[in-house]
Structure 1
Amino acid sequence: MLTHPTSDRLEALGFIGMAKALDEQRRASDTFENLSFEERLGLLVDREAAERGAKKLATRLRFASLRQAACVEDIDIRSPRGIDKTVMAHLIDGGWIDRHENLLITGPTGLGKSWIACALGHKACRDDRRVMYHRVPRLFQALAIARGDGRHARVLKSIERTELLILDDWGLSVLTAVERRDLLEILEDRQGRGSTIVTSQLPVDQWHEAIGDPTLADAILDRLVHNAHRLNLSGESMRRKMNTTKPLDPSRLA
Structure 2
Amino acid sequence: MDKIQTLKTSARSLGLIHTRDALDEVIHTAETEQHSYLDFLTYVFDGEILYRQNKARDKRIKEAGFPYPKYLKDFDLTFCKVISKKQFKQLTELTWIDGLYNLILSGPPGVGKTHLAIGLGYQACEDGYKVSYTTMQSLIKVLRTEEIDRHAGVKLRRIRSSNLLIIDEVGYLPISATEGNLFFQLISELQERTSIVITTNKGFEEWTEFLGDAALATAILDRLSYQCDKIPMNGKSYRLENRKSFLNETGKDK
TM-score when normalising by structure 1: 0.89
Q: For structure 2, which runs of at least 5 residues remain unmatched after alignment?
A: none
2:129 paired residue number: 129
* In 1, Cα distance between equivalents of 2:200 and 2:72: 20
User: Does 2:28 correspond to 1:48?
Assistant: no
Identity %: 28
* In 1, Cα distance between equivalents of 2:182 and 2:214: 16
User: Does 2:83 correspond to 1:100?
Assistant: no
2:227 paired residue number: 227
Instruction: Give the match's secondary structure for 1:209.
Output: helix
1:91, CA displacement in angstroms? 1.2
Q: For structure 1, which runs of at least 5 residues remain unmatched after alignment?
A: none
Matches within 5 A, 1:165-176: 165-176=165-176
* In 2, Cα distance between equivalents of 1:31 and 1:165: 48
2:187 paired residue number: 187
Greater shift after overlay, 39-48 or 156-165? Answer: 156-165
* CA-atom RMSD in angstroms: 2.5
Greater shift after overlay, 55-64 or 241-250? Answer: 241-250
Matches within 5 A, 1:1-254: 2-33=3-34, 35-149=35-149, 156-245=156-245, 248=248
Per-residue displacement from partner, 1:84-140 (whole Å, max 9, x unpaired)? 111111111111111111000111111121111111011111111111111101211
* In 1, Cα distance between equivalents of 2:142 and 2:157: 14
Q: Which amino acid aligns with 1:18?
A: T
Per-residue displacement from partner, 1:58-99 (whole Å, max 9, x unpaired)? 111111011220122222212244121111111111111111
CA contact (8 A) 2:60 2:130 kept: yes
1:253, CA displacement in angstroms? 7.4
Per-residue displacement from partner, 1:134-175 (whole Å, max 9, x unpaired)? 110121122223344488776544322111111000001232
CA contact (8 A) 1:32 1:40 kept: no
Note closer, same or farther for the CA distance 1:247–1:16 as it changes in structure 2 (3 Å cut). closer
**Count, aligned residues:** 253
TM-score when normalising by structure 2: 0.89
